[in-house]
Copies of this chain bind each other. A is one copy, B any other.
Amino acid sequence: MTSSPPPHEPDEVARLTARAAELLEAVWGQTPTAPVSPSQLPVLFVLEHNEGINLRTLADTLGSTPPSASRLCDRLQAVGFLERAPSPNSRREVHLYLTKPGRAFLAEVRARRERELTALFARMPAHKRSVLLEGLEAFCWTAAARIHEDQSSDSRSA
């Protein structure tokens, strides 16, 4: 005589995910990332998975504009985390690369963030960690697919 289990509709999970994201931002907001500003950090993330991208594509991916992206690259180049290389095909295009120190810095930031989370998850029951892991794996897979689709449609419509 028990009622059927709750349905867990997409919008229910969406609401909780949004709340989780807000909480996570509150936890991470305190973590310093000097000498890289909050605006510069996404540049490193994008470059990591898009080796040799040009400036316009970077700006599009950031949801920003070429002048802004150019300035961000200026600063990152100044601290040695980014490299501008002339394109072999087109003399007006620039290819962007993370330098070795840039990658090392990125790994540092991730490690710092993950340490924060590890401390948090240590206080969660092992079973909850397991189900969260399974759910997040599916989320990452779906989100990555969606982002990839968006990029494809962007380049078609551009």
Contacts and interface: CB of A to CB of B under 8 A. Distances in A.
Nearest to A141: B124
**Residues of A in contact with B, size category:** 35 or more
A79 interface: no
- Interface on chain A toward B: helix, strand, loop, or mixed SS? helix
A142 B124 contact: yes
Nearest to A147: B26
B22 A45 contact: yes
A150 to B, nearest CB: 8
**Residue from A16, A110, A122, A144 with most neighbouring chain B CB atoms (10 Å):** A16
Interface string A125-158: 1101111111111111011101100100000000
Contacts of A135: 128-129, 131-136
A85 interface: no
Contacts of A123: 142, 146
A30 B63 contact: yes
Interface of A: 7-8, 10-30, 42, 45, 62-63, 110, 113-115, 117-126, 128-140, 142-144, 146-147, 150
